[in-house]
Chain A
């Protein structure tokens, strides 16, 4: 594996839903043997932090004009479509 993947998890406050999502993504990737560094931020901070990320996962609309893949999803909160989103994450990470 070439270095750890960097995932930015965004939500409105950076303390509520992104906390749940970050933990869930971390655990799910670990089970697949994928190591990733996960950082949380506010949706408004995405433009300034996107450069340091390989993938952005968000529960709320964020800027998408920074050239990094963005996955907008509630799956890790509602459980709906979680497996499909996980596959999408792994694919976008190229892991």
Chain B
């Protein structure tokens, strides 16, 4: 009941070349739109949301993460899309929007009501807190490796 239930190979983009946070959101959002998880309005809604309520998470190591998302009305079914970036892209810090965060891994979240996807959200947070998994994600060249890395964290978190 974890992340892999919401993440498919077709929604994983590795070594993505992107110009800006909006560009990442657009490219990842298209994969969710294509698979029917989100409505036509979703991509613009996330981009606008990011401008007022940014989602960059500065971490301890040299890898920072962003988790763009938006209101539930733009979503058909909960899902996650993930990208590793060829070059870091600037997001603003969630808790302090004036601060820029150089982000290398993006989880684009399509969310329904809060309790529908609590395991998924907790697992994203678990990945964010796990430097080893973040490293494995950055090293991945095939979406299958990403899914495998998440399977391992699920096993780990059982004993948490």
Chain A positions near chain B (C-beta within 8 angstroms) = 12-20, 23-24, 40, 43, 58-61, 72-74, 76-80
Question: Please, which residue of chain A has its CB at the minimum distance from the CB of B98?
Answer: A61
CB within 8 Å of A: which B93-126 residues: 94-97, 109, 111-115, 117-118, 121-122, 124-125
New A-B contacts (17) at CB < 8 Å, excluding given A78-B58, A78-B60: A12-B53, A13-B53, A13-B72, A15-B112, A15-B113, A16-B111, A19-B114, A20-B122, A20-B125, A23-B122, A24-B125, A40-B114, A58-B95, A72-B96, A74-B95, A76-B125, A77-B128
**Cross-chain contact of B129 among A18, A40, A61, A78 (Cβ < 8 A):** A78
Interface size class of B (residues with CB under 8 A): 20 to 34
Q: Please measure, in the bound complex, the distance between the C-alpha atom of A30 and the C-alpha atom of B72, giving whole angstroms.
A: 30
> What B residues does A60 contact at CB under 8 A?
53, 94-95
CA distance A24 to B129 in the complex (A): 13
Q: Which residues of B contact A18 (CB under 8 A)?
A: 114
Of B55, B71, B95, B118, most A-chain CB atoms within 10 Å: B95
Distance A77 CA – B72 CA, assembled complex (angstroms): 20
> Could you tell me the distance between the alpha carbons of A74 and B57 in the complex, rounded to whole angstroms?
8
Residues in B whose Cβ lies below 8 Å from that of A16: 67, 69, 109, 111, 121
* B69 A59 Cβ-Cβ under 8 A: no
Chain A contacts of B115 at CB under 8 A? 19
Option from B71, B112, B121, B128 in Cβ contact (under 8 Å) with A78: B128
Q: How far is the CA of A12 from the CA of B97 in the complex (A)?
A: 13
Complex contact A59–B121 (CB within 8 A): no
Give B18-41 as 1s and 0s: 1 = Cβ < 8 Å from A's Cβ atoms. Answer: 000000000000000000000000
